[in-house]
Structure 1
């Protein structure tokens, strides 16, 4: 996957980023939204500033005024995609009755992941692939994902648990669901993943039954 600037130097900021101006921030958000939509439509493969500029209807020099190079733009666009996933998950959790079992909350989150549009899941899967392929350069794509996803999973944990226990269980669920998504993308083993999720749900039921 090539995500370098067009001259081959990753993350080179040739222009000063816009900052502090409401108009400049509005323009940055507009450009970011167009680039994010392009990632959903075309994936992360061969991402570059020139491709992003075409999608945004501008020039790569304008993008360099608003973003610190291709890597910065890619990271912000992927964060926008994760934001869509997180928003869907939060909406699903909000529909659950208060005091519902932990396993039911995780089921609600899992359903949103299974029902999300294929192109969105593909783009986010490719972000994971990049972070594995070149962790020094793209590792933040995965680290930032944890920061975005964990609040959703923490919100479904029992309120009377200690903060440490809630974080431990949320981290376990996050890692497991990530593994299931990778398995679905690579092996297409729907029945195997479904069986694995049911095992996770039973484990969460036992964890909650153990009390605060």
Structure 2
């Protein structure tokens, strides 16, 4: 709407900051028609207020940007920490599987030894016992291979857990730095408001 002639007190309201009196606008009967924003942004020879307002708005935008970066980095740090926990769980599970496979390999080797002894004691059953011994030896070899595979899987999962934990720590550090920058920008914005002289 167009502004009627008279005097208008301008109060600057920014979320997160106390109200600040920006000045008084005087509209005369012969003033050019316009809105309050038009008169507020109009620059005169004796008025440096619009430039001060622009600097203040830039400070507010910078504070908001730092706050958004801090929020984003905090979310990434949380995700990395969660991934680190998942990788650690996988590493523990793989380690248990490796231990189980190693136990199976030991048991198969023991059974292979017993089968070989039985084959040696009985000539009549030597062929059958030798076959059983060979089967147990094959099972022992397979169990040993499974144990080695599980061990490598556990090492890989442990490496992933370590990398995810490092990433989580880095993101947490970046989040803290962004939060600190946001706080510094907010303080600077408040100082800028306080330095604006009253009209």
Which structure has more relative contact order (CA 8 Å, sep 6+)? It is 2
Q: Mark the structure with the bigger radius of gyration.
A: 2
> TM-score under structure 1 normalisation?
0.21
More strand by percentage? 2
